[in-house]
Structure 1
């Protein structure tokens, strides 16, 4: 087990701060996605996980659909989506939506609903 992962090992493009990391291989029961969504209206389609997911909004504005609720979130907001709850989000603009998404599981498990 490698206790430290260097940024270049897991970031999709080391020149930009985005990518994903699965902690199970490193002894952690958590996965992390770092998003940089530039296009207004872009984001993942409706899905759910069998564990909670926490979103930390670092920059920009996003529309989060969590179950039947629609939530506009901005810098510093933190949202927790309960396990098995359908959810999606998109960039509202202007500018880039930057989030850190924390999955409470050592590996990603996603059921795409659309």
Structure 2
């Protein structure tokens, strides 16, 4: 698929340098596999990796002062975002707006793995339960 969404002459190249960092160790134990603050890359987003093999398990109810995008890369999850309940499977993405309490859990069977993109150069969170 060929795309031509903008005139390349209308954008100035960024002065930021390319960067690389490790998000998680694939052999690490526990559900929180790792986090990478955007500051480490000079980027405006922070990325987290979460995974669990236990149905019903997931992060506690919390809120952020910025938007968050959840990418389900493996398994099935149930997201609670404000008063909405959204079921998502591998390959789907869920949006959590700023200031809206949210959590998610593994629906099973098997592993749930997500990549969570925080629209902030650092992870800022208040737990609600």
Question: TM-score under structure 2 normalisation?
Answer: 0.78
Tell me which residue corresponds to 1:43. 58
Query: 1:61 aligned to 65, 71, 76, which one?
Result: 76
Tell me which residue corresponds to 1:86. 101
Which ranges in structure 2 are unaligned for 5 or more consecutive residues? 1-16
Matches within 5 A, 1:1-114: 3-5=19-21, 7=22, 10-11=23-24, 13-15=25-27, 18-114=33-129
Which ranges in structure 1 are unaligned for 5 or more consecutive residues? none
User: 1:95 aligns to what SS in structure 2?
Assistant: coil
Moved more, 44-53 or 33-42: 33-42
Residues 51-80 of structure 1: CA deviation (Å, up to 9, x unaligned)? 000001111111100000111110111111
Aligned residues: 110
CA distance in 1, matches of 2:35, 2:114: 12
The runs of at least 4 consecutive aligned structure 1 residues that moved more than 6 Å come to none
User: Computing the radius of gyration over CA atoms, which structure comes out larger, 1 or 2?
Assistant: 2
Moved more, 17-26 or 65-74: 17-26
